[in-house]
Each structure stands twice: as structure tokens, then as C-alpha cells.
């Protein structure tokens, strides 16, 4: 039995076998909210909504020590669906193919996501084009929902591409996750260790979102 007692996503990733290995929430360090899927909104785009602090769990599926696929735990349909980097629509991330609106229910090139931890909790995601997966600066409004969409188009690991990964459950029997407290001291230590800077109001929002 391997015990992860400090919330280290990197340790959990390395200890895991291929396949589903954890459920976690993903929070943008911009303060714009948790990463989520809004079903049937712009081909079920991945987005952040700063007005929605409700729980949104992602299943992380290990491909190797540097690559994963991502599935919303609560699917839009009665099958597992996958986040997909769409080069056919400006490298946006969606769980539906554009134009056809077919659901993405298998993992191919577009669904393989690079995953690199910068510290204990903060990491970067990249698409098959080796660009950082980052939030748009501006939100999109459509059909009664407003959210900040994601594209695999970032050239630098800036704040729009920085993500806090909060483990909720380990999914493999040989790994025990003992839990961690994501409080101000813990998160400030991580940010300072990585020489990052967050405005106080943004930091307060991020802590609230991580713990809500």
C-alpha cells in the first residue's frame, strides 16, 4: 500500500498504474473558477464560470507518467466522455466534436493531454500541439450561460495556464490518499515556492473555490 499524505498530485501520478487513478477538482489560478463542462453549450465546451462554485469532479486517466486523459465524473450522457483538443475549431477543448456534435467517447490523439506538475498541487496541461491549455482572457456568452473557454494555444506558463489540482479520491486500491487541508498557509507556501505572484483578492477567490 502506497500512502499519499501531503496531497502531492505528482506522487499519486507516479504511483498509479495506467487507467483511472484519481478524482479531482481543477481550479484556475486566475480566480475565474473551477474547470467544468457545460453540457450542450458550444459543443459542451470546457470553461470556468466565476459565479459557479459548485463541485465539479474530473476523473484523471493515466496514459503514462507525462500524459493523461480527462473525463467529467458526471457525464453529459450515459457513457464516459473525454476532453478533446479540437484543431478543427481553433484548438478549443470540448467533449463534443464541432459541427456534428458527436460525443467524444474514446481516446485518440486529440484526447491525450500532457500533464506536468510544477509543485505539489499546481500544474500545467498541454495539447497534442505542445501548447499550454489556457483560459481565454474574455468570456463567451451563449444560450444563457457565460464562461471562459479553454484553448490549447498558450506559448507561456502564465496565470491563464496555471491550474490548482485538488485531489478528492484515489481510484486504485494500492494507493491510499489520506487527505490534505487546502488552507491559506498551504497554498501560499506552494505559490511562494514556485515564485508565483497572485493578488490578494485573486488568492482569496482561489482558496474559496478550492474549498467550496
CATH of the domain at 122: 2.80.10.50
DSSP 48: E
> Residues 194-206: pLDDT tens digits?
999 899 999 999 9
Q: Cα dihedral sign for 33, 34, 35, 40?
A: negative
Range of the domain at 61: 2-211
Rounded to the nearest 5°, which phi and psi values hold at 100? -80, -25
Rounded-to-integer distance, Cα 5 and Cα 7, Å = 6
Q: Cα dihedral sign for 117, 36, 177, 106?
A: negative
pTM as predicted: 0.96
> Residues 17-73: pLDDT tens digits?
999 999 999 999 999 999 999 999 999 999 999 999 999 999 999 999 999 999 999
**C-alpha cell read off for 95:** 467533449
Residue entry with cell 473555490: 209
The pairing of beta strand 113-117 with beta strand 122-126: antiparallel
DSSP 201: H
**C-alpha cell read off for 145:** 450561460
Instruction: Return the number of other C-beta atoms located less than 10 Å from residue 24's C-beta.
Output: 23
Residue entry with cell 501560499: 188
**Number of domains composing the chain:** 1
> Residues 163-207: pLDDT tens digits?
999 999 999 999 988 778 899 999 999 999 999 989 999 999 999
pLDDT score at 42:
95
Rounded-to-integer distance, Cα 94 and Cα 116, Å = 21
Residues with Cβ within 8 Å of 108's Cβ and at least 6 positions away in sequence, in order, are none
Average pLDDT for 68-80: 97
> Residues 119-141: pLDDT tens digits?
999 999 999 999 999 999 999 99
Enumerate the β-bridge partners of residue 28.
163
**C-alpha cell read off for 11:** 506522487
Amino acid at each position: 500500500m502506497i500512502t499519499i499524505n501531503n496531497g502531492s498530485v505528482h506522487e499519486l501520478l507516479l504511483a498509479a498504474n495506467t487507467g483511472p487513478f484519481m478524482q479531482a477538482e481543477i481550479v484556475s489560478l486566475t480566480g475565474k473558477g473551477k474547470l467544468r463542462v457545460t453540457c450542450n453549450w458550444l459543443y459542451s465546451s470546457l470553461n470556468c464560470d466565476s459565479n459557479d462554485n459548485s463541485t465539479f469532479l474530473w476523473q484523471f486517466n493515466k496514459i503514462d507518467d507525462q500524459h493523461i486523459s480527462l473525463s467529467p465524473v458526471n457525464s453529459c450522457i450515459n457513457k464516459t466522455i473525454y476532453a478533446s483538443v479540437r484543431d478543427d475549431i481553433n484548438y478549443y477543448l470540448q467533449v463534443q466534436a464541432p459541427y456534428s456534435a458527436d460525443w467524444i467517447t474514446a481516446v485518440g490523439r486529440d484526447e491525450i493531454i500532457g500533464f506536468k506538475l510544477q509543485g505539489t498541487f499546481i500544474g500545467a496541461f498541454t495539447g497534442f500541439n505542445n501548447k499550454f491549455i489556457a483560459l481565454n482572457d474574455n468570456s463567451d456568452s451563449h444560450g444563457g450561460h457565460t464562461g471562459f473557454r479553454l484553448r490549447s494555444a498558450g506559448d507561456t506558463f502564465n496565470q491563464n495556464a496555471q491550474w490548482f489540482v485538488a485531489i478528492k479520491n484515489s481510484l486504485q486500491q494500492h494507493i491510499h490518499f489520506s487527505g490534505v487541508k487546502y488552507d491559506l498557509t498551504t497554498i501560499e507556501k506552494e505559490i511562494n515556492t514556485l515564485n508565483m505572484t497572485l493578488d490578494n483578492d485573486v488568492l482569496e477567490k482561489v482558496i474559496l473555490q478550492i474549498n467550496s
